[in-house]
Amino acid sequence: MRRMLTLFCAALILFAPLLLAGRPAAAGPQGKLVYIVAADIVRGLFQATGTVCVQTNVFKLGEEVVWRVTVFDASNGADPAEDGKNLTALTERGIKVTVYLENGMSFPLRYARHPGKGDPAAWLWATGWRIPDDFPTGRLKWWLVVTDKTGAFVRFDPIGFGTNLGAAPLIIEKR
Amino acid sequence: MRGKQLLIGAAVLLLVLPLLAQLPGAAAPRPRLPYWVMADVIRGDTLGAQSSIFKQGDEVVFRARVLDIATGQDPGRAGQGLKALQELGLKVTAYLEDGKSFPMTYGRHPAQASGREPVSWFWTASWRIPDGYTGPHDAGTLVIPVRGARYVKWWVMVTDKAGANVRWDPIGVGTNLNPIGLIIEKR
């Protein structure tokens, strides 16, 4: 009986640190915020009514909204695809970047070189949306989500999201 | 007797280990990037829309949000953690490449929110572009040239007492893509 008790206590002492290390309270939030995301929106070339490729959140019907996003690994601050040199890393990690509009529309972003030709260039995620001519005018919230195969889920909201500030949503006006 | 001693020892260990895990020294190593910084520029007019193109005399408002990467939370806890910001010694500054810098302040936006109007807490600074200001670069050399205008590059730095030093640059830094700088036109 005493031997069993001794063995039990020895096992408890040996394994207690392992059991405790697995508790969420001790592990902290590490692994949650695995990506650092930056995003902006610029006016695309299509039917532009103002200067092209400058940041704005105010668009006219028929114009093109372009989302541009960078995704960096939070552990080292580096682009997982190493500025286009390691595209397989994106596939291996299964990184997906998607923009969502509050009306249910969503747009997957594609990782590519910008500008397409010429140097210097930057590698980033981008997508464009041509606002239909008959789209309802007004304010439209947007956000984006980065996911990967490991279950990472990082949401980016524009600064001031959820307030009535003018810079957070897309503002769509008549042409 | 020995078994009893072991049992007591195990019980003490079980009680002490969780406390040890909560000590700062026992925490996981701090990530190399302690802060997640997001920034943009908006127009300092009534609409406050995002823009990277301005005219001389316009007001540029730099905005930044700083989150602790370890927790994903705003260290200022939406205005409830102002003391924590002081303790951290968090400083957020917008820089122009021509040497100008603008210390940003953490505040509530909109400042004059009424009733239950939703508000957001973040860092801001503003700069009224002088009438005679000319940026260091010709905006005609950008990927999509903007004739007759000039541009100046900008970035945001976040520092704290612990020696953190995080720099945020607009997307496309190092290229000639248009949004890398503030494009400033003559009025």
SS3 call for A82:
coil
Give the pLDDT confidence of B24-65 residue by residue, as tens digits: 333 444 446 899 999 999 999 878 999 999 999 999 999 999
Nearest residue in A to B18, CA atom: A20
The pair of structure tokens assigned to A34 is: 């695995």
In eight-state DSSP terms, residue B83 is: H
A13 vs B: CB within 8 A: yes
Confidence class for position A8, pLDDT limits 50, 70, 90: low
Terminal Cα distance for chain B, rounded: 91
Cα separation, B15 vs B104, in Å, equals 45
Mean pLDDT confidence for B53-80:
95
Q: Is A165's pLDDT higher than 60?
A: yes
pLDDT at A11: 52
Using the beta-carbon criterion (under 8 Å), do A54 and B174 form an inter-chain contact?
A: no
Who among B48, B49, B172 is closest to A56 (CB)? Answer: B49
Looking at residue B16, the DSSP 8-state letter turns out to be H
Reading the block at residue A150, the tokens are 């490991």
Amino acid at the residue A40 = D
* Separation CA A146–CA B49 (nearest Å): 25
ipTM over 0.90: no
- 3-state class of B77 per DSSP? helix
Cβ-defined contact of B171 to A160 (cutoff 8 Å) = no
∠ CA B28-B34-B39, rounded to 5°: 155
- The residues that bridge with B184 in the sheet, in sequence order, are B54, B150
Q: Do B6 and A163 touch (CB under 8 A)?
A: no
Mean pLDDT across the stretch A45-67?
96
Residues sharing a CB contact under 8 Å with residue B11, sequence separation 6 or more, in sequence order: none
Residue A34: CB atoms within 10 Å: 20
Looking at residue B112, its pLDDT comes to 87
Direct distance between the N- and C-terminal alpha carbons of chain A, in angstroms, rounded to an integer: 87
pLDDT tens per residue across span A72-89: 999 889 999 999 999 999
Instruction: State yes or no: pLDDT of A32 exceeds 80.
Output: no
